[in-house]
Amino acid sequence: MAKIFSDGKIPKRFEGYVIYPLWGEHIIKEKTGFTTEGLKDDPKYAKSRENASEFGVLTQSCKAIRMALNEGLPKSNNLEVCNGLTTIMRKVMCCDTVAERGNRCLKNGFESAGGKSLFVGYDFNPSGLFRTTFKGNYHFDISKRKLVFEPFKTQEAFVFPEGVDCVGFRLGALRFDFGTSASFLQLTDMEFYGFDSRSTKKLRLCIKDFPDGEGVIFFLLEVAFFIENEGTFVSIPQNDTKVVYVLGVE
């Protein structure tokens, strides 16, 4: 590496060297390190090429899943939602022990027990965590596609944000085909309970008549808070407290 001086225009490249400005001077050094041509062909960048190939397909699937769940996902912190989903899906993809590196996929990842267990308990909204919002008892039976709260006491079960007096929740099932990105979403009706609602021994939510099809099925619980106004339920302006929680994967 050396400094160069010139009264005229200095080129950015000269034969096997590159020239760049630094602190008011110009430095010339031999071309080394990363190049576009090297990325395409150099064996030392093989892992980078494999990662790029897998990551491109993964991010497309993540986007398609977010679009399928667009109605229920919070809008106020969209970047966090995107980044969080990409991170967990990358971990699921790494559970694919069938395909070679560079061709691993989410379909194979979710067919493994490890991939399923990684995604169960995932919160789509990093700012709305189920474990900090819900303090009650529940049981999800994936074979019957049924969620049971037992007992159900609104004040004890949910941590209400300041200024709200009602909670709404519903059960959902999303089938997603990682080969075609085709999706199908079914949701139960939203159940609304005021802060002072009386307790019940048992509350059930169930997905019924879910059609057959290709793909992985994600069972989700959506929780959101509202302000009740003369029998209507008004969502709060900042919906970053909304919970979209993965109960099970089939």
The per-residue pLDDT for 134 is 95
The two three-digit tokens of residue 168, written as one number: 């709404």
**CA-derived radius of gyration, the chain:** 26
Q: Domains along the chain?
A: 2-32 (no CATH), 37-121 (no CATH), 123-249 (2.60.40)
The Cα-based distances of 175 to 18, 113, 125, 231 in angstroms read 52, 18, 20, 34
> Do 198 and 239 contact (CB within 8 A), yes or no?
no
Distance CA 98, CA 94 (A): 10
Cis before residue 151, ω within 30 degrees of 0?
yes
Show Cβ contacts of residue 145 under 8 Å, excluding neighbours closer than 6 positions.
Answer: 173, 206, 207, 208, 210, 219
The per-residue pLDDT for 229 is 87
Handedness of CA 57, 63, 67, 70 (dihedral sign): positive
Mean pLDDT in order along the chain per 10 residues (250 residues) = 62 72 69 60 63 88 97 85 96 96 96 98 95 95 96 91 93 98 97 88 94 97 92 79 96
The per-residue pLDDT for 198 is 80
Alpha-helical segments (H) within 113-205? 113-119, 130-133, 154-157
The per-residue pLDDT for 232 is 86
Tell me whether residue 139 is exposed, middle or buried, using C-beta atoms within 10 angstroms of its C-beta: 0 to 12, 13 to 18, 19 or more.
exposed
